[in-house]
């Protein structure tokens, strides 16, 4: 899961230069993946922080742009 989160975050850094909303949405997905990884390690506080911030990133892009 760590590798998937890292890959998504690096992909979002590259994508944000070409299509900003998609890059931010991918970064939000990476945060959710990191949250699930922390849940597997029984670190519930970090799970909630990453999960909430990931969904807020994705919802913010959806609300501001109206599309992905």
Question: Which of 55, 17, 13 has the alpha carbon at shortest distance from 33?
Answer: 55
Burial of 35 (0-12, 13-18, 19+ CB in 10 A): buried
Q: Is the pTM of this model over 0.85?
A: no
Q: List, for residues 4-63, the tens digit of each pLDDT value.
A: 877 888 888 888 888 888 888 888 888 898 888 888 888 888 888 888 988 998 888 888
CA–CA dist 35, 62 (Å, integer): 20
């Amino acid at each position: 899961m760590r590798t998937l989160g890292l890959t998504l975050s690096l992909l979002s850094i590259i994508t944000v230069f070409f299509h900003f909303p998609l890059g931010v949405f991918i970064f939000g997905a990476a945060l959710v993946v990191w949250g699930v990884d922390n849940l597997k390690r029984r670190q519930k506080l970090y799970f909630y922080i990453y999960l909430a911030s990931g969904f807020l990133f994705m919802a913010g892009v959806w609300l501001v742009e109206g599309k992905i």
